[in-house]
Amino acid sequence: MKTEQADVVPSADLLDDLHWRGLISQTTDETALRKSLKEPISLYIGFDPTAPSLHIGNLVVLLVLRRFQIAGHNPIALVGGATGLVGDPSGRNEDRILNSESTVAEWVNKYRMQLARYLDFDGAINPARIVNNLDWTAPMSAIEFLRDIGKHFSVNQMLAKDSVSMRLEGGGISYTEFSYQVLQSLDFLELYRRLGCTLQIGGTEQWGNIVAGLDLIRRVESGGGHALTVPLLLKSDGTKFGKTAGGSVWLDAEMTSPYSFYQYWLTTEDKDVIKFLKVFSFQSHEQINELEKLHNENPGARTAHRALAREITILVHGEEICDRVEAAARALFGQGELGELDEVTLASALAELPKTHIVKGDEIPTWVDLLHATGVVESKSAARRIVKESGAYLNNAKISGEDFRPSVNDFFFGRFAILRKGKRDLAAVEIIKKP
């Protein structure tokens, strides 16, 4: 984890900073928490391996953990090798398929590698730790679990938790998912015992589970701690952040290409860009306020959008890859050289565009036929009209004739050509091998 360019917020100001960024929903006792933060504490966030990769929704709470570490505290990232096998009740009917132990174990390892990008595990003062709750859950027998842990939980109180009551009002809940709260509480207890962990952070939906863990610590160890939840991040239109028409935006480059990742942030709605900067950026209040001022004065310049997209893409994929995708974005719209892009970056940039394919060795259709085949225009006559109006481009070069037919030499890496209609509408052509 690199922190040299981060705005280092002193621990005494950390909660004020989190409030300013809109990152605090609930705390058990904020006054007591502020007092405890005068000295380094250990805190944790849990991540259940429910997919092959973390996504940008996970990044919201993960970066809160990073902020605590920068301020001098001791972060613990818990990967739920045990709870990932059970499934967290989330308000949905239980129609999920529980993943196999081997699948969950594979995802646990992937999460470990991803988390290393955001936390410093090598620091001399407050290095981060990664733990797996399967380490203390697997050796425990069912009888031990019921006698030593289960006896401390009131079913009446568990039924009153929002995550459970919502399910009871719908299709019901299985005992498997009902037990999730007990398992998460056990995690807090074990980390309290083993590492002196006194703060758990999670999303708002985790509030009931976190305070149940605090109650377990009180009952078993006569100890105490704190809970802090981060609000659900919504877009200005009320929809859930982090979702696209194609699904989640993943941190794994093979699941969401770096170009698509960058474009997700670059195309943030104007009403959301400053909010997202506060949540995800490590720039100072003054820097973000300046970006807000520039955005309000000239939204069309998209200065705040570019700052957001660049910072988060560097954080997740590195500066070199970010430079490549920015170069690709410029080149696609005629502000850079397409020929200077590497094949992987070009392929990822074109993956999201309307596309048509040509079988290798077949005759290449005309530009008009190709544009129509991509679906960018409804008819060939519309494509011809674009040529007549001087709005037709192949690889950023203007096309002057309706009968223009690209050659094999016009395809980058023998595979790709880019069609452009006017200034903004892009499409791709790819040469593929015979089936």
Question: What is the structure's pLDDT at 2?
Answer: 46
| Local confidence band at 174 (pLDDT 50, 70, 90 cut-offs) | confident
Question: Domain locations in the chain?
Answer: 11-232, 233-340, 353-435
Judge whether residue 78 has pLDDT over 70: yes
Judge whether residue 184 has pLDDT over 60: yes
Sheet architecture: strand order including 397-398: 355-359, 425-432, 416-421, 392-394, 397-398
Topology (CATH level 3) of domain 233-340: Tyrosyl-Transfer RNA Synthetase (1.10.240)
Task: Quote the strand ranges of 273-423, DSSP E.
Answer: 355-359, 392-394, 397-398, 416-421
Question: What is the structure's pLDDT at 423?
Answer: 84
Judge whether residue 93 has pLDDT over 80: no
119, 1 in Cβ contact below 8 A?
Answer: yes
CATH superfamily of 353-435: RNA-binding S4 domain (3.10.290.10)
Question: What is the structure's pLDDT at 86?
Answer: 84
Report how far residue 41's alpha carbon sits from residue 190's, in angstroms, rounded to the nearest whole number.
16
Query: In CATH terms, are 11-232 and 233-340 the same topology?
Result: no
Question: What is the structure's pLDDT at 94?
Answer: 44
Q: Which residues are CB-neighbours of 39 under 8 A, at least 6 positions away? A: none
Report how far residue 72's alpha carbon sits from residue 28's, in angstroms, rounded to the nearest whole number.
22
| Local confidence band at 175 (pLDDT 50, 70, 90 cut-offs) | confident
Residues 308-362: tens digit of each pLDDT: 999 999 999 999 999 999 999 889 888 888 989 999 999 988 988 899 999 999 9
Residues 128-154: tens digit of each pLDDT: 999 999 999 999 999 999 999 999 988
pTM, two decimal places: 0.88
Residues 201-217: tens digit of each pLDDT: 999 989 989 999 999 99
Residues 187-203: tens digit of each pLDDT: 999 999 999 999 999 99
Report how far residue 112's alpha carbon sits from residue 79's, in angstroms, rounded to the nearest whole number.
8
Q: What is the largest CA-CA distance in the chain?
A: 83
Q: Which CATH code for domain 11-232?
A: 3.40.50.620
